[in-house]
Amino acid sequence: MIFKTAWKNVWRNRVRSLVVITSVTVGIFAGVFAVAFMNGMIAQRFDAAIDEEISHIQITGKDYILNNDPGIFMTPGDGIVNFVTSIPGVNKIVVRKIITGMAGTATKSAGVQIIGIDPGREKEIFKLYKAVIPGTGDYFEKESKYDLALIGQDLAKELNIIRFAIDSVVLLRLAEKEVPPEIIGKLKLLAGKRFPNEKKFTSLVTSVLSKRELQNYGQMIKQEAWSFRENSRITLTLLDRDNNQVSSVFRVGGIYDIKNTMYEQSQVFIRNEVLSRLTGINESSFHQIIIRINDIGESEKITNVIREKFPELDVKNWKELQPDLAMMTDYVHQIYGFFMAIILAALAFGIINTMLMVVLERTKELGMLTAIGMNKKKVFSMIMLESVFLSLTGGITGMLAGWLAIILTAKKGINFSQYAEGMEAFGYSAHIFPQISASFFVMVVILIIITGIASSVYPALKALKLDPAEAIRTE
């Protein structure tokens, strides 16, 4: 009966209750969607880091990464690969040669890590092969008489391999995408010009278009004007095993895009046998072992097993390789909980105010209830339930709205391409797919109930202080 009465009391003043419920709905919706958005970003970053960049565990010779000495390599005879393969929970391993060097074209150069890989084995661990930009080549699929290099999009931009140009084809494609004719007219002024880099292109486009036009169509124009210089060649310069400088010309066999500027600028992939030939290091020798395990939760345990067996090696799991990511994934639920708690704390003041009005308006009724024998515990429970029902109704509506918004945006994602440069600099994709787990909703429900209870305490205590004889006389 207390439940029923409390629920009916919520709807006694519909307008007032709806105002509170709406504010809770909006707050929870905003919180849920913002968390789903952040969660999507972090999950995408996590997947990209594991699947495209670092995998679960990496082994290198002691201080190899620090010294960049090509002579610090491992061989099959060391028994490391055999040992690692025999550890229960290890799924796949792949070995790499890594040499620090320079990548250059006739006009530009950049410091890079040249990674010698076995493309077939790499595919079993990394999804980098899926990140090759269509039209720029492939992941060492086709045989070539030239030595091929797979480079990142940002390195390609830096080396002027990616250029920007506006020609009749680009203008036609923009017209097909319903870019207004006046903008196309302005772009015609730039037709026939080639821009060696993004910066120069952006600066000229900015000079002919208004701020609003740039906001609405700038990214689309950049995407269409993007062009790849086919059969581009780069020179890779590196030190061989005897510290002699060697150089070789490579054809760009493909350009990958993993939405991580730093990685794309620095990681160049070539075939293992080519790097062996250039460095004089045996084909079967390697600088790094990369391990994929079945359960990521066991990464620390397996890392320790390897460390104990080979204390002379540098063994690092993904948490040690990317501590920022590890911190985010470890504390993500606490962060989300804290975020929602702040929103609910703000909403609680509105609920407290409403419940105080409720107690004030119902002084006579509450006095009557105490008079006829409703004890303090039950009066407290009734006020508390009304507050919880108010919060929960708004909360559930907000969660449903949030869930619906997540469903609607999760498939196609939300594209913040205008901020892509900044986001990719930190390794985050600008195309975000919001996602959230069911356990988050459970946590939110618990937080809402706590808020409802906490918001009711002061008004309920006020109700308990009422003198029934006096309250009944109240007009």
Partner 1 sequence: MKVLELKNVNKIYNGSEVHVHAVNSVSLEFKEAEFAAIVGPSGSGKTTLLNLIGGLDMPTSGEIIIDGTDLSELKSSQLIDFRMRNIGFVFQAYNLIPVLTARENVEFIMSLQKWSKKDRDERTFELLKAVGLADRANSRPSKLSGGQQQRVAVARALASRPKFVLADEPTANLDSKSATTLLEIMEKLNHEEKITFIFSTHDPRVVKMAHRVITLEDGSVVSDEIRE
Q: Does 375 bind partner 1 (CB under 8 A)?
A: yes
The radius of gyration computed from the CA coordinates of the chain, to the nearest angstrom, equals 31
Cα 327 to Cα 339: distance, rounded to the nearest angstrom? 17
Q: Which position among 120, 373, 411, 465 is part of the footprint of partner 1 (CB under 8 A)?
A: 373
Residue closer to partner 1, measured from CB, 3 or 349: 3
Q: Which three-class secondary structure state does DSSP give residue 315? A: strand
DSSP 338-349: HHHHHHHHHHHH
Cα 369 to Cα 364: distance, rounded to the nearest angstrom? 9
CA 114 to chain centre: 27
The amino acid present at 331, given as its one-letter code, is Y
Smallest gap from Cβ 374 to partner 1, in A, equals 6
Which stretch in 102-110, 180-188, 232-240, 464-472 sits in contact with partner 1 by CB under 8 A? 464-472
CA 370 to chain centre: 56
Smallest gap from Cβ 347 to partner 1, in A, equals 25
Token couple for 410: 């999760």
Q: Does 378 bind partner 1 (CB under 8 A)?
A: yes
Residue closer to partner 1, measured from CB, 15 or 372: 372
Smallest gap from Cβ 359 to partner 1, in A, equals 15
Residue closer to partner 1, measured from CB, 6 or 236: 6
Residue closer to partner 1, measured from CB, 196 or 468: 468
Q: Which position among 42, 246, 262, 374 is part of the footprint of partner 1 (CB under 8 A)?
A: 374
Residue closer to partner 1, measured from CB, 143 or 475: 475
> Are 217 and 183 in contact, with CB atoms under 8 Å apart?
yes
Q: Does 469 bind partner 1 (CB under 8 A)?
A: yes
Phi first, then psi, for residue 200 (nearest 5°) are -65, -40
The site for partner 1, by CB under 8 A, has a size of 22
Token couple for 451: 């808020």
The amino acid present at 313, given as its one-letter code, is L
Q: Does 8 bind partner 1 (CB under 8 A)?
A: yes
Residue closer to partner 1, measured from CB, 58 or 363: 363
The amino acid present at 128, given as its one-letter code, is L
Q: Does 5 bind partner 1 (CB under 8 A)?
A: yes
DSSP 92: E
Residue closer to partner 1, measured from CB, 12 or 142: 12
Question: C-alpha distances in angstroms, 156 versus 127, 149, 265?
Answer: 20, 11, 8
Which stretch in 6-14, 19-27, 47-55, 149-157 sits in contact with partner 1 by CB under 8 A? 6-14
Cα 398 to Cα 27: distance, rounded to the nearest angstrom? 7
Q: Which three-class secondary structure state does DSSP give residue 474? A: coil
Q: Does 16 bind partner 1 (CB under 8 A)?
A: no
Residue closer to partner 1, measured from CB, 1 or 438: 1
Residue closer to partner 1, measured from CB, 276 or 370: 370
Smallest gap from Cβ 10 to partner 1, in A, equals 9
Residue closer to partner 1, measured from CB, 1 or 15: 1
Q: Does 14 bind partner 1 (CB under 8 A)?
A: no
**Residues 312-371, interacting with partner 1 (CB under 8 A):** 364-365, 368-371
Residue closer to partner 1, measured from CB, 408 or 469: 469
Closest CA to 137 of 146, 148, 126: 148
Q: Which position among 4, 145, 411, 465 is part of the footprint of partner 1 (CB under 8 A)?
A: 4
DSSP 411: T
Smallest gap from Cβ 400 to partner 1, in A, equals 26
Cα 105 to Cα 155: distance, rounded to the nearest angstrom? 11
Cα 80 to Cα 85: distance, rounded to the nearest angstrom? 9
Closest CA to 344 of 390, 303, 285: 390
Smallest gap from Cβ 43 to partner 1, in A, equals 46
Q: Does 233 bind partner 1 (CB under 8 A)?
A: no
> Are 164 and 222 in contact, with CB atoms under 8 Å apart?
yes
Closest CA to 2 of 375, 393, 469: 375
Residue closer to partner 1, measured from CB, 212 or 465: 465
Question: How does 58-67 read in b/e, with b if 16+ C-beta sit within 10 Å?
Answer: bbbbeebbee
> Are 131 and 283 in contact, with CB atoms under 8 Å apart?
no
Which stretch in 1-9, 103-111, 257-265, 352-360 sits in contact with partner 1 by CB under 8 A? 1-9
Phi first, then psi, for residue 177 (nearest 5°) are -90, 20
Q: Which position among 11, 146, 419, 458 is part of the footprint of partner 1 (CB under 8 A)?
A: 11
Q: Which position among 14, 62, 301, 376 is part of the footprint of partner 1 (CB under 8 A)?
A: 376
Question: C-alpha distances in angstroms, 276 versus 116, 121, 250?
Answer: 8, 17, 15
What's the CA dihedral at 203, 209, 211, 212 to 10 degrees? -140
Smallest gap from Cβ 1 to partner 1, in A, equals 4
**Residues 171-230, interacting with partner 1 (CB under 8 A):** none
Residue closer to partner 1, measured from CB, 5 or 219: 5
Binding stretches for partner 1 (CB under 8 A): 1, 4-5, 8-9, 11-12, 364-365, 368-376, 378, 468-469, 472
